[in-house]
Structure 1
Amino acid sequence: MAKPKIFSDHFSILKYLLRWTVIIVPVAAAIGSAVALFLWLLSAAIHYRFGHPWLLYLLPVAGVAIHFAYRLYGSSAEKGNNLIIDEIHEPGAGVPKRMGPLILVTTVITHLFGGSAGREGTAVQMGGSMAHLFGTWFKLDSTQMRTLLTAGIAAGFGAVFGTPLTGTIFAMEVLTIGQIKYDALLPCLIAGLVGDVTVSAWGIKHTAYHIDDVSAGLHGNAGNTLMMLLLLVKIIVASAAFGLASMAFAQATHSVKKICTQWFKQGWMIPVCGGIVIIALTWIIGKPDYLSLGVEPEYPGAVTIVSAFTHNGAYFFSWFWKLIYTAITLGTGFKGGEVTPLFYIGATLGNTLAGILNAPVSLFAALGFIAVFAGATNTPLACTLMGIELFGAEYSLFFAVACFTAYIFSGKAGIYSSQRTGVSKSQSLTMVQPEEKIMSNTDAG
């Protein structure tokens, strides 16, 4: 009797896989194509501003346009990534169709005029919006819609950074702090892979990063083992700082929003003020290094994410200025993501800490790159995979140590206010498991 049962189980698995493949492939291909268009437009906007730096002085006007675009047409789309996370946890009003095109246009506008923002938020919102649209066409029930929305996040994230495995785990890990539900694993994996392949098929190239070889002398005799342990200690110390930087970024962004809401009765004044502050800071600092993405240099010698992987590739407080610029940009209503600025903050902070700790610069820039992101989004596993996908598997142990240490030190909150808490960070560090606590409370009663 066991044999038919085994065949029945495998048939069910095959049926499940085929069903979701048929559903996911066109959705992820559409999301990948939209992300490819977005990345092309974003690159064009950034390079156009490079050639016309006076556009920065129109940033307040651009902010007003973005404000009224969302006020007139945005409805619930203003909540961005948090709306998609809420919809996955508790299906309700749905994700508006206009979210995708609206976030695409307003993000390009933000970067065209010099706002310091990222791109993952745009890709995730486009992915969620398109996934929900396809879900309504396919007449999916609420459970299936949650799975498709999660897969939409995976497709958008994997496509925008060229990291399909990271997108897969990020989509499941970002929903609930300290807990991953694997029921959407296969749909997310298919979506991440198809989204990434689609972007590549459109000819879009992703930035390549490189870690200099630091393995020489770390393996072998007892002396080299001590060097390895010393490097691990330095990584833990730096990663604690990365976690604190994550916490500072999240709190700064939330604080800017709160303060501006209290100070300004007219909503359109908030982006005007934010734009003016960005212009003033750029004038005071005397260089445009902290505007826009920070991936490509506006002029020779500019501080970028790529330059942070080299000696003297960042200033001591480059990470601080990027944190301030981005908190002001996003906190005053401009659009885009937080992740690429977090990469910048982490890579430049890693560069600074490498000098202080006498550590390998490119390695610490890479660790900061992924660890600050891990702490701010509460996704240490996804960020460990990102390190492997972007930099190679040779230093996977260091990636894991950095991401999980930063996650612990980043505090309770993150950049996504709609995240649920499955297992708190303090609870995960205790010796007693939740089930044991329940047992002991019952015994005590």
Structure 2
Amino acid sequence: MGSDSGHWYRRIDSGLHEFFPAPFQDFIRKWIPLSLLIGISVGLMTVLFQVALNVVGFVFDPSRVPWYLIFLLPTIGGLLVGLIIPYFAEETAGQGMDEVIHAIHYAGGRIRSIVPPVKAVVSALTINSGGSAGPEGPVGEIGAGAASILGGWLKLRRSDLRTLVIAGAAAGFGAIFKAPLGGALFALETPYKNDLEHGAVIPALISSTTAYLVFILFPLPGFGPTPVLGSVTALPTYDLPHLALYMLIGLLAGLIAIAFVKVFFWISDGFSGWKMPFAVKTTLGGLVCGGFGVVLPGVLGLGYTWDQQLVLGNVGQVVVGDQLVTSFELVLLSFAAMLLAKIAATSFTIGSGGSGGVMTPSIFIGGTLGAIIGILLQATGFSFSSSILVVVGMGAMLAAATKTPISSAVMLTEMTGGFNVLIPLILGTVMAYAVAGDYTLYKAQITRKSMPMDLSVLARKTVRDVMTSPVVTLRPDMTVKDAYDLSILKGHYSYPVVDESGVVLGVVYRRTLQQTHSKAPRTLIRSIMESHVEIINDDAPANEAFDVMNGSQITRMIVVDGEKHVMGMLTRVDLLRAVEEPERPPAAPPPPAAPT
């Protein structure tokens, strides 16, 4: 029997070689099994995360306390989160998807194994204690972390690990939002502002669909295929006034997204610069969020109840404090206050270090914008569907704030069961995406995967001609505090670590300095530096550097001479500038960088 089995296996393998091209063989042997495995695993993890959300939601049920004490719930949640994160995994603070994007671009897809379980716990505490945050960051980081762990076990090469991490994030999105196509597209779009990860399309689709099926088929209440935000039954109108209205919503959403991004990072940077224990920051963030919730309880938590009411077209009333408001003027003012409060509550929740995503709050803000426009139109006699305006606002705000115009339109159709709204959504998302420009809630996003270049120009230049020099370097015996203070002045993303003669020993990233400074500022740089560095010789052809960076998805490299002295830093921006600027005579070699 064993010999017969081996014979049939060889026959099948021979058939693959004979009838299918090599890339398709690679998919059959590697990516289909891996994507299915990730989809099943992340689907089950998402089920557990949803159960955790339900349990925390039961413990922190706001109906158990008087309305004027609701602020205590997110405050307690913030305190618990602030006590857990510093001792287990500091990277689980804030919005998880930015960490995933950072891992894809700057860490070859590597995510620590401790991250998924810790992220699940602190996110459940943040969200269902009333913190204004969403589940997409947590499930994205949980899925990507699981994929990173599996890829590490299998010793996948760097590019394959990145693909698997994107597939893991897609699985989380597809399951938690019951949006297999939109979830896959969102994972493919989010790493870039103006591109998507083409090489991961099939793995992302397979893993997302698999995780979605695992999630909806799980035999527990609330896990079925019912759309997350309810169902839109209205049919859109396609005359010129309505088409202009959809684009107007997109325009306003783009402008509000810019304000959201500015407020979010202003508050986040403020918390980062404050010299106080992490738990104090998260507690304060929860307290402020809870304060908004006392007056406008709809801003707390996921906000799905609010979103669902808007999708159903219920825009004529709102709860303020413990009162139901129904008059036109007060409803309009309350909706405007709800929009502004959600921006502030989200910024304080996540900016203070709470754990959660920004996608769901963006949907909330956009839906509220659409509802406000609907309320204003009621007084004009203009015929419209408020449900469609709400959904267009949701998609437009999401596209603008996260730079995902394609997936935002598709995902909102799946989340609202309304593929008939796809065209209005596309008009709104494209307009909002264009208006918002480069503003994004994801700091780690880069513009595009590859840059269109005339490589013949680069072939005539060396790395020395196009690199940035001199660079700021650190010594291994410096303290994190001194290095952190220097990074505040210089603002660079990474810092080479060199010995007394300027030979490169490793690299330290600004993010690592920030995290360590808040916990152990007297730590020496040698203890936190990464010894694996991407280096290139200064006399290498610039087009060779481009091939290396583009093929391995590296965004920056340390430039060294033949004796490994640091000479400068090379980034993709340097290569792009070299193509756009007129050619100059070859540069003379600079002196080696001395330790700072």
- Indicate whether the TM-score tops 0.5: yes
| Deviation of the 1:45 alpha carbon | 2.5
Over residues 177-222 of structure 1, what are the superposed CA-to-partner deviations in whole Å (9 max), with x where a residue is unaligned?
Answer: 111231111111111111111111214135242324244xx4xxxx
Where is the helix percentage greater, Structure 1 or Structure 2? 1
Over residues 346-376 of structure 1, what are the superposed CA-to-partner deviations in whole Å (9 max), with x where a residue is unaligned?
Answer: 1111111122244420001011111111111
Greater relative contact order (Cα < 8 A, sep 6+): 1
Give the structure 2 partner of residue 300 of structure 1: none
Map 1:163-174 → 2, pairs under 5 A: 163-174=179-190
Over residues 93-133 of structure 1, what are the superposed CA-to-partner deviations in whole Å (9 max), with x where a residue is unaligned?
Answer: 92011111111111111134221111101100100110011
Does residue 211 in structure 1 map to residue 240 in structure 2?
no
Partners of 2:48 and 2:17 lie apart in 1 by: 46
Which of 287, 298, 307 pairs up with 1:289? 298
Partners of 2:211 and 2:157 lie apart in 1 by: 24
For residue 304 of structure 2, give the secondary structure of its aligned residue in structure 1: coil
Give the structure 2 partner of residue 375 of structure 1: 400
Which of 323, 347, 357 pairs up with 1:327? 347
Give the structure 1 partner of residue 444 of structure 2: 418
Give the structure 2 partner of residue 342 of structure 1: 362
Q: Is the 8 A contact 1:31 1:156 kept in 2?
A: yes
Give the structure 2 partner of residue 69 of structure 1: 84
Where is the strand percentage greater, Structure 1 or Structure 2? 2
Give the structure 1 partner of residue 267 of structure 2: 256
Does residue 355 in structure 1 map to residue 357 in structure 2?
no
Partners of 1:99 and 1:385 lie apart in 2 by: 29
| Deviation of the 1:62 alpha carbon | 3.0
Query: How many pairs does the alignment contain?
Result: 411
For residue 278 of structure 2, give the secondary structure of its aligned residue in structure 1: coil
Does residue 114 in structure 1 map to residue 130 in structure 2?
yes
- Structure 1 segments unaligned to the other structure (5+ residues): 219-226, 297-303, 425-436
Give the structure 2 partner of residue 239 of structure 1: 250
Give the structure 2 partner of residue 365 of structure 1: 390
Q: Is the 8 A contact 1:46 1:292 kept in 2?
A: no
**Bigger CA drift: 96-105 or 203-212?**
203-212
Partners of 1:379 and 1:93 lie apart in 2 by: 21
| Deviation of the 1:280 alpha carbon | 2.9
Letter in 1 for 2:75: P
| Deviation of the 1:160 alpha carbon | 0.8
Map 1:9-48 → 2, pairs under 5 A: 9-10=20-21, 12-48=23-59
So what's the TM-score if we normalise by structure 2?
0.64
Over residues 156-180 of structure 1, what are the superposed CA-to-partner deviations in whole Å (9 max), with x where a residue is unaligned?
Answer: 1111101111111111111111112
Query: Which has the greater radius of gyration?
Result: 2
| Deviation of the 1:47 alpha carbon | 4.2
Give the structure 2 partner of residue 50 of structure 1: 62
Over residues 32-87 of structure 1, what are the superposed CA-to-partner deviations in whole Å (9 max), with x where a residue is unaligned?
Answer: 11111111221333244134235641533432331232211114444732232122
Letter in 1 for 2:365: I
Pair 59,384 (structure 1): closer, same or farther in 2 beyond 3 Å: closer
For residue 158 of structure 1, give the secondary structure of its aligned residue in structure 2: helix
Partners of 2:291 and 2:420 lie apart in 1 by: 43
| Deviation of the 1:413 alpha carbon | 2.2
Map 1:87-236 → 2, pairs under 5 A: 87-91=103-107, 94-203=110-219, 204-205=223-224, 206-215=227-236, 218=237, 228-236=239-247
Over residues 309-358 of structure 1, what are the superposed CA-to-partner deviations in whole Å (9 max), with x where a residue is unaligned?
Answer: 21415543122222221111111111111111211111111111122244
Does residue 312 in structure 1 map to residue 327 in structure 2?
no
Letter in 2 for 1:295: Y
